[in-house]
Amino acid sequence: YNEERPHTGKHCYGKTPMQTWRDSIRSPMIELLCERYDTGAWTHGVSNFTLETLSSENQYGRMTGDRLKSMFNFIELKGESRRK
């Protein structure tokens, strides 16, 4: 199953679909973050969302949000958007 497709390590929230297996909904990003938290793996990430947004129930949820707090240093970069 997908052995020939290497994992790039890149994820974009909102583009990773909820997956189902035997009628249970799975979220690959939450599973990845929880696995890395449980093993103590160093994890680097970038997001356009605040911790409060990521911790909301319609995103990753409170439990994963608490884990994010202990896994990452959150640095807010303020200023004008550089998007064109």
Residues facing residue 24 across a β-bridge: 21
Which pLDDT value is given to residue 48?
87
**Is residue 46 assigned to a domain?**
yes
Number of domains in the chain: 1
- The pTM is what? 0.61
Which of 4-8, 29-33, 66-70, 80-84 is predicted least confidently?
A: 4-8
Query: Is the residue at 38 inside a domain?
Result: yes
Residues 6+ positions from 8 with CB-CB distance below 8 Å: none
Q: Is residue 63 part of a domain?
A: yes
Structural domain of residue 42, as residue ranges? 27-71
SS3 content of the chain, % helix, strand, coil (to 5): 30, 5, 60
Q: Establish if 15 belongs to a structural domain.
A: no
Intra-chain end-to-end CA distance of the chain, in Å: 40
Residue pLDDT, tens place only, 20-57: 556 666 788 888 999 999 999 999 999 889 999 999 98
Q: How many other C-beta atoms lie within 10 A of the C-beta of residue 29?
A: 17
Does the residue 80 lie in any domain?
no
- Confidence at residue 84, expressed as pLDDT on a 0 to 100 scale: 82
Query: Looking at residue 20, what DSSP letter applies?
Result: E
